[in-house]
Structure 1
Amino acid sequence: MMNIYKWVKVGGYGLAGLLLIISIAIILTLCWDSNQTSYLRMQGGAEPYIIKNINIVPMTGDTLLNNHDILIKDGFISKIAPDIFDRNIKQIDGTGKFLAPGLADMHVHVWDDYELGLYLSKGVTTLRNMWGMPFHLRMKKRIQENTVYAPIFLTASPKLTGPMDDGIDKKQVKDAREGKYLVSKYKKQGYDFIKTYAGLPSDIFDAIKDEALQQNMSLASHPSFEVPYEYHFSKPIKTIEHTEDIVQQVLKFKDDSPMLKETIAKYAQNKIGHTPTITVFHKISEIIEKESNLLSEDKIGYINPAFLAIGSQEDYNRWTSTKVYDSLVGERIFKQHQQHLKLVKKLNDAGGLLLAGTDSGISYAVPGFGIHEELQFYTEAGLSNYEALKTATVNPSLVYPKLSLTGTVETNKLANLVMTKENPLLHIRTLENPEMVIIKGQLLYKNQLEEFSEKAYHRSNYWATIIRLAEGILFK
């Protein structure tokens, strides 16, 4: 008996020692990762300054304010005029340059702090993260406290789906009562809105919506296949994600449907935002067409290494193997991509509220780069550059009150701005390589933006990401 007790005691000490070692390893890994992104730490507040003789793209209309001055003070646009003179305030020469609102990517999956800097380097000053985990709440707190250079950051809750829709990335809700509880829980934890997913049946969905209304929480919905598509045109749903789901649920993969006109009309009537995410779907075509050549492209080095090895690789394996036994899959995927472009044009022409979103951080959609691909797809669909830019500037500010001070260059708006060499109303891709980015009034010069991009390239934070992902899966 004594021997058994002795070995149990020794085993207990051994287990405790192992847990201690694992805990120390986790802490050291996360601390090391945090130290690696110390270049993003904000250095004090911004002094007032005037940008002189700049061409302003106000986004209040399809127009340009030529050779104006703009005064930035306390993080906001204090004054815009043809000439502002104050010898006591720093002056920046903007001659020949253009100043536009910073861009919003309204459907992303953020994996680490490196991506915050990478987005800024590409002119993105607002992010809506669509798979919330505990580390996103800590990230959001740091951003709100102005301790790091980062875009404005809104984050979804964990993804809520029904009891029959399994997957480690989703929170399966067993019944209506649990649905109500989770909405209340996520509100208290600090998530900005509830993300609903593809497997929610109507009774649980109804309960989630009712509780969200009570809690003054909005919903962003990846359409559920358990309810009709038109079900999603109801409060408190503010946005419906993915044009591909219109093709699947409304069109049933056909070219047209009697329900399509009704669906587009409901988008316009209800002013519910639609986030196309054309970019991530198009990555399927790129996988099928390029195969291993895609993996050697320079941009791939900007994808989080853990997700690249797990999620992206899974997508790659799926579609390259499908191509082996289905030679027409590439043709079908490209045809559906073309359908997406047509639908974006129809939604825009009908007065629908399009929100630029890329699903960056998933598959091979690259953070920061993706928004410029997305906007290019919108212009390819037939939108003017101004109309395309509205989806990433003005329109997000109409959906979320927290973004109401963004999206245009006007007095008393937040100074989230992008300076470029060319006029984005004529050359929309100029926004991909900004001369300067201003975030909450803080100036980020080209050399800083280049550093943010370089630090994110081939970063070594595989295990830190795995730890944060494991936390998110365990503590939904």
Structure 2
Amino acid sequence: MMKLIFSSPWVCRLGVALCVAPAISTAAASSGPSAWVLERVTVVDVKTGNLSPGMSLLIEGGKIARIASAASIARGSDIVRVDGAGRFVVPGYLDMHAHPLNAPDPRPSLKLMLSNGITGYRQMSGSPELLRARQEKKLEFDDSPALLAMPGTILTDALAPTPDAARGQVKKQKADGADFIKTVGLSSANFYAAGAEAQAQGLPYVGHMNMDVDVRQAARVMRSIEHLGPMEVMLLGCSSEEPAIRDGMAHAHVEPPQIGPPSTPQAQAAIARMIANPAMNVKPHQFANMRRVIDSFDATRCGELARELIKDGAWQAPTLIRLRTMELADDPAYRGDANLRFMPVPVQQMWRELSAQFGQRISQVDRDTYRRFFALQLRFVKLLQDSGVPLLAGSDAGGSIWVVPGFSLHQEFDLLEAAGLTPLQVLQSATINGARFLGREAHLGSVEAGRTADLVLLDDNPLGSVANLHRIAGVVRSGHYYDAPALHRLQATALP
């Protein structure tokens, strides 16, 4: 029967071999009725923005079997009925940039994600061990979103120090079962070698660009660009001074700090802090370049860049919440966030220490630069959306400073709204866009017959206000229904 439920560990994110998710495999959810009906709801068409009130959804075998007017679905005595009168049904939210599986025990993070309406996620860092665990079905958990895609170990210059090594790593990860290749900080020659090999192997190539990589050339091999670059690497393409700035950065590649073997506790702690906020390690000349990029922003050049991104099929996962928590890490609102209680105490302590150090290590002038730069990043996202560049909602949950799993995707919704996106566009970035990116539009991302029953039940019209995306009355995950009290219980079990 189908379940009807009613009323620092984060060093592993690097995909280091020693970091493996626990060998925990949970059985499928307990069974319930063979069929049930969610009735008298308004169905939201995320493709068109149309609303269909007074509808009922027949759920069978974890799928939406039928959608029809409430009066037309037979009221058999053996069918459980959930009354959704006055509520709105949207597809389950997809977090398209997250790292929950790199925690020693991912279950609390996954529960927080599901309790916030996230029914699927793209895991953005992996390892041979994680890929093997997935093949052995050891990454299937109760009360969890679906794992939609996962890479092998993130490609860095340390792992792939030459073009030949980069190509070899791509081939190995293909053999290991990776769904895509993730790159972070690869220098130019290694970056393009890995990208070309990924294309040859039929694997999407995604991730970060180093400063010696030109975004226009990178877009030809990248399927998705994460974090808007990150930093100024992408916005440099919108600068009227790009040639001069790029000439001055010709030798700007900086190797990551050498902090010793990752097996030592000291090195693990150093890596965790570096991951939490790399914006604390930006050098003075980089701030100077950032100011030049801000002051020379050219909307016309930016529009030309957007058209090239569209032509090359380079999607964008801005993760604005991750950018803001890095660049505005000393915002007092983060230290007072009630949702910090869901994070382990050592993680909370580390984040608070890093926030205090941010104000000490980054000058007032440079903190002002970060604030101006974040405002420009918001403007850039709006320009991308208006130009037709497809966007993916993602939170980067899994070690980033102030980013709490589940809740952070809702913060992303608010920041996308602050950038100027409409409620429908925000909803699309978290639903149908992710399904299209993954090539799984026939299975998820919309409320249609035949789709997996991954749904969010909202108290008010999500097309009227982004705030209504937060007003979750219930979640359906693979046909299993969780009402609001059940979601609250999930959160309670996720407390450390």
TM-score range normalised by the length of the shorter chain: 0.7 to 0.9
Q: Which protein is richer in helix relative to its size?
A: 1
Match of 1:22 in 2: none
- State how 1:73-88 maps to structure 2 within 5 Å: 73-82=60-69, 83-87=72-76, 88=78
The CA RMSD over aligned residues, in Å, is 2.7
- State how 1:187-266 maps to structure 2 within 5 Å: 187-202=174-189, 204-235=190-221, 237-243=222-228, 244=231, 245-247=233-235, 250-251=238-239, 253-255=293-295, 256-257=297-298, 259-266=301-308
Match of 1:470 in 2: none
Match of 1:160 in 2: 155
Unpaired segments of 5 or more residues in structure 1? 1-25, 164-171, 460-476
Q: Which of 338, 341, 351 is the equivalent residue of 1:298? A: 338
Deviation at 1:289, TM superposition (A): 3.3
State the secondary structure of the residue aligned to 2:364. coil
**CA distance in structure 2 between the aligned counterparts of 1:281 and 1:304, rounded to whole angstroms:** 22
Unpaired segments of 5 or more residues in structure 2? 1-17, 240-289
**CA distance in structure 2 between the aligned counterparts of 1:71 and 1:283, rounded to whole angstroms:** 42
Match of 1:273 in 2: 315
Deviation at 1:138, TM superposition (A): 6.2
Deviation at 1:404, TM superposition (A): 4.5
Q: Which of 186, 209, 216 is the equivalent residue of 2:173? A: 186
Match of 2:385 in 1: 348
Q: 2:360 aligned with 1:321, yes or no?
A: yes
State the secondary structure of the residue aligned to 1:437. strand
Return closer, same or farther for 1:201/1:352 CA change in 2, 3 Å cut-off.
same
| Residues 417 and 466 in structure 2, CA contact (< 8 A), matched pair in contact too | no
The alignment covers a number of residue pairs equal to 411
Deviation at 1:141, TM superposition (A): 5.2
Give a deviation string over 1:433-462, Cα, whole Å, max 9, x none: 4221111112122222112211222x1xxx
Return closer, same or farther for 1:388/1:143 CA change in 2, 3 Å cut-off.
farther
- State how 1:324-343 maps to structure 2 within 5 Å: 326-343=363-380
**CA distance in structure 2 between the aligned counterparts of 1:208 and 1:221, rounded to whole angstroms:** 12
Return closer, same or farther for 1:388/1:294 CA change in 2, 3 Å cut-off.
closer
| Residues 69 and 84 in structure 1, CA contact (< 8 A), matched pair in contact too | yes
Return closer, same or farther for 1:334/1:304 CA change in 2, 3 Å cut-off.
same
Amino acid at match of 2:330: I
Give a deviation string over 1:233-288, Cα, whole Å, max 9, x none: 124x2101112442356545224146423211112223321011111121145532
State the secondary structure of the residue aligned to 1:117. helix
- State how 1:57-456 maps to structure 2 within 5 Å: 57-82=44-69, 83-87=72-76, 88-110=78-100, 111=103, 112-133=106-127, 136-137=130-131, 140=134, 147-153=141-147, 154-163=149-158, 172-202=159-189, 204-235=190-221, 237-243=222-228, 244=231, 245-247=233-235, 250-251=238-239, 253-255=293-295, 256-257=297-298, 259-284=301-326, 286-290=328-332, 294-305=334-345, 307-308=347-348, 312=351, 315-316=354-355, 318-323=357-362, 326-361=363-398, 362-402=400-440, 404-456=442-494
Give a deviation string over 1:174-206, Cα, whole Å, max 9, x none: 22222222112222323221101123322x233
Match of 2:284 in 1: none
Return closer, same or farther for 1:426/1:319 CA change in 2, 3 Å cut-off.
same
TM-score, length of structure 1 as denominator length: 0.79
Structure (1 or 2) with the larger CA radius of gyration: 1
| Residues 417 and 426 in structure 2, CA contact (< 8 A), matched pair in contact too | yes
Return closer, same or farther for 1:46/1:128 CA change in 2, 3 Å cut-off.
farther
TM-score, length of structure 2 as denominator length: 0.76
